[in-house]
Amino acid sequence: MSGPIVEAEGVVKTFGPIRALDGVDISFEAGIIYGLLGPNGAGKTTLIRVLTTLIRPDAGTARVAGIDVLADPTAARTKMGLAGQFAAVDDYLTGRENVEMVGRLYGLSRGDARRRAAEVLERIGLVDAADRPVRTYSGGMRRRLDLAASMVGRPQVLFLDEPTTGIDPRSRIDIWNLIQDLVADGTTILLTTQYLDEADQLAARVAVIDCGRVITEGTPSELKDKLGGAVVELTVTDDCRDQTLAALATVTGEQPAYEPSTKKITVPAPDGARTLMAVVRSLDSSEIVPDDITLRKPTLDDVFLALTGHHAEDQTQTSATKPRRPRRIR
Amino acid sequence: MTALPARSRVGLAQAVRDTAVITKRNLLRNVRLPQLLLFSTVQPVMFLLLFNYVFGGAIGRAIPPAAGGKYINWLIPGLVVQVATFGAGQTALGLTEDLSKGVIDRFRSLPMARSAVLAGRTMSDLIRNGLIISLMLGVGFLIGFRYQTDFVRLVAGVAVALAFTYAMSWVMAAIGLAVKNPEAAQSAVFLPVFPLVFASSVFVPTQTMPDWLRAFADNQPITVTTNALRGLILGEGALLPGQTVEGQILAALAWAAGILAVFAPLAVRVYRRTVS
Ligand SMILES: Nc1ncnc2c1ncn2[C@@H]1O[C@H](COP(=O)(O)OP(=O)(O)OP(=O)(O)O)[C@@H](O)[C@H]1O
Ligand SMILES: [Mg+2]
């Protein structure tokens, strides 16, 4: 099959006064992991719900595996699997019963459902716990079970809504490996995340979504190039702040950003450690000693600050007050 | 890797199968947590004991002789209908719980019959309520209940109660889906049901009620269904003059069919609205 495997065009969804999706376009080819990156309330879950036929958009079209999800939702459902943001598993059933039930509802015969459940439980590392009631599972195990259930019908496209949120770092790596295995086997995955490093690790392409709109789209490295790779972050005493900002502007040729609430000054460091050393030399010659100075990778927050002019976490607060001036993008 | 064929329509056979899968899933909860069934039985048994021993002596004088001179014989058919009514409330609670836990979203993302979620829920609650009624009848027998007709009629009486509880499950489904959250469902379901159960012939004969209340009590479905059960279990002498057993059975079944005809489509409509 050629052409995009998932395609959304001009998708709008409102909840009363809230425009959860405000004209979203995404499109990607089969066989990749596509990342949907955005802060709380960005519209990630709403977009997944539209694509998985759980809600009808107010406007726009969506196709999954070549099937129009609005015109033919039942056919589309045979092609996809969903693991929602909160594990939808039955506490009083065993892990195996949960997965077998979903297999049956995909239309598998009893025997096929049993075999397939054993297969995915093995694959997801839940064999030992498979016959225990889910009530006794940890949060990470429930998450994995939910993932197992979403895989049981061998969907062409898997939708994973924040598959690693609230999961300890080790289980997180396990889930990453599993996702990569699935893609190696030919499944296409759309996953949402709030973590830049996750999108970076896994996704071949990423759409950054904010306030119901895709604000940028591309490969993770394209995304980071927009930010210039690394950032120098420092704090100084209030009386030498202006002098510092001027010095930084001269050294890097960029306007530094100052965040009053944290008193942090950040400036892009396109040459990494070299930029940091140049900054240090310049401050030293002006006899400024920063309280703290670090060179770090850009975070999701930096992406947001750069692309939207507001922080990822406090967008509701920021949009209610005066919008901050966007930092210049190289 | 064999992909599943894309299917645009879910056939009837598949719909029946999906309903069976959901029914089994819902029932497993009662098997895994047997306390659930027990607690649901404790309440009617408590009513049985309280009414039988506390009020039995006083009320006993007002009941028709068809009850064999024992208040418990008169009370049991009423309590069966009470259990059928309260038990239906479970449909609302089960649905709201599945809604709030995202289970319904999971079902809706699968290529299964859409009807199976509601059909499976009402079916499993029907089976569950049948079990509770049997348990309660068992306790009744232990403390002195005896049917005055024959066993076949007792079973027929239970069948009428099941028709009623099934219809009421659809009322409760509509209420639960409309209020959505489990805590709100708890009161939304039992608030309207309590006055209906008490302003009926379940516990006491309606003759002692003031006229205005009696006019209501005599004609509401819980009384009609209770009368049908009493007629079947105790004989025609348990009914008011002019009432026949067949007449009360027909009236009870008509109520069940009417409630079902109104509330099943309504519940389906509320379901569609709630989930999207
Ligand atoms: N059923 C609903 N009713 C009302 N508002 C809703 C509903 N679902 C989502 N919203 C609103 O739509 C916006 C987008 O929500 P959505 O859940 O898609 O965000 P998200 O990106 O998944 O966020 P998170 O990272 O917190 O999961 C939010 O403002 C949210 O409050
Ligand atoms: Mg979300």
Chain B hits for A119, Cβ within 8 Å: none
Interface test with B, best of A49, A51, A77, A157 (most B CBs within 10 A): A77
- Is residue B224 scored above 90 in pLDDT? yes
The CA distance from B183 to B188, in Å, is 9
Q: Are A247 and A286 in contact (CB under 8 A)?
A: yes
User: Nearest Cα to B158, choosing from B218, B217, B83, B220?
Assistant: B83
Q: What is the pLDDT of residues B60-82, one digit of tens each?
A: 777 888 888 888 999 999 999 99
Q: Are residues A215 and A249 in the same domain?
A: no
Domain count, chain A: 2
Q: Which CATH number characterizes residue A281's domain?
A: 3.30.70.100
**Nearest CA owner, ligand 1 atom 7:** A15
Q: Are residues A110 and A251 in the same domain?
A: no
Identify the pLDDT of residue B138. Answer: 92
User: Nearest Cα to A34, choosing from A280, A173, A249, A220?
Assistant: A220
Best residue for ligand 1 mutational test, from A40, A46, A162 (most atoms within 8 Å of Cβ): A46
Of A219, A238, A263, the residue that ends a domain is A219
Kindly state whether residue A319 falls inside one of the protein's structural domains. Answer: no
Q: How far is the CA of B116 from the centre of ligand 1 (A)?
A: 28
Q: Are A235 and A265 in contact (CB under 8 A)?
A: yes
The CA distance from A100 to B3, in Å, is 17
Q: Are residues A120 and A254 in the same domain?
A: no
- Is residue A327 scored above 60 in pLDDT? no
The answer to whether B106 contacts A185, with C-beta atoms less than 8 Å apart, is no
Structure tokens at B70: 């024992």
Q: Are residues A82 and A179 in the same domain?
A: yes
Q: How much is the average pLDDT of B222-248? A: 94
Residue B98, class by beta-carbon neighbours within 10 Å (0-12 exposed, 13-18 middle, 19+ buried)? Answer: buried
Identify the pLDDT of residue A330. Answer: 36
Max distance between CA atoms of chain B, in angstroms, equals: 75
Structure tokens at B276: 């999207």
User: Nearest Cα to A87, choosing from A164, A148, A142?
Assistant: A142
> Residue A92: which domain range?
6-219
B18 touches chain A (CB under 8 A): yes
Phi first, then psi, for residue A210 (nearest 5°) are -150, 135
Q: Are residues A209 and A245 in the same domain?
A: no
Pick the more confident residue, A251 or B158: B158
Q: Are B175 and B264 in contact (CB under 8 A)?
A: no
Identify the pLDDT of residue A301. Answer: 65
The CA distance from B7 to B21, in Å, is 19
Per-residue pLDDT band at A310 (split at 50, 70, 90): low
Q: How much is the average pLDDT of A36-55? A: 93
Of A196, A219, A242, the residue that ends a domain is A219
Q: Are residues A184 and A283 in the same domain?
A: no
DSSP string, A114-125: HHHHHHHHHHHT
**Nearest CA owner, ligand 1 atom 3:** A15
Q: How much is the average pLDDT of A171-185? A: 90
Q: Do β-strands A18-28 and A6-15 pair in parallel, antiparallel, or remain unpaired?
A: antiparallel
Q: How far is the CA of A132 from the centre of ligand 1 (A)?
A: 34
The answer to whether A102 contacts B106, with C-beta atoms less than 8 Å apart, is yes
Q: What is the mean pLDDT of chain A?
A: 86
Q: Are residues A236 and A290 in the same domain?
A: yes
The answer to whether A55 contacts B276, with C-beta atoms less than 8 Å apart, is yes
Q: Are residues A191 and A235 in the same domain?
A: no
Interface test with A, best of B10, B110, B117, B271 (most A CBs within 10 A): B110
Q: How far is the CA of A4 from the centre of ligand 2 (A)?
A: 24
Q: Do β-strands A188-193 and A205-210 pair in parallel, antiparallel, or remain unpaired?
A: unpaired
The CA distance from B142 to B147, in Å, is 13
Identify the pLDDT of residue B1. Answer: 44
Q: Are residues A142 and A283 in the same domain?
A: no
Q: Which residues have C-beta atoms less than 6 Å from ligand 1?
A: A 15, 18, 20, 38, 40-46, 85, 194
Interface predicted TM-score (ipTM) of this complex, two decimals = 0.87
Kindly state whether residue A316 falls inside one of the protein's structural domains. Answer: no
- Is residue B6 scored above 80 in pLDDT? no
Q: Are residues A119 and A263 in the same domain?
A: no
Phi first, then psi, for residue B255 (nearest 5°) are -60, -50
Q: How much is the average pLDDT of B115-143? A: 94
Q: Are residues A107 and A232 in the same domain?
A: no
Best residue for ligand 1 mutational test, from A45, A161, A165 (most atoms within 8 Å of Cβ): A45
Identify the pLDDT of residue A319. Answer: 37
- Is residue A321 scored above 60 in pLDDT? no
Q: How far is the CA of A38 from the centre of ligand 1 (A)?
A: 12
Percent of chain A having pLDDT more than 70? Answer: 89
Pick the more confident residue, B58 or B100: B100
Flag the least confident range among A245-259, B150-164, B252-266.
Answer: A245-259
Please, which residues 90-149 of chain B have a Cβ atom closer than 8 Å to chain A? Answer: 101-103, 105-112
Q: Are residues A69 and A201 in the same domain?
A: yes
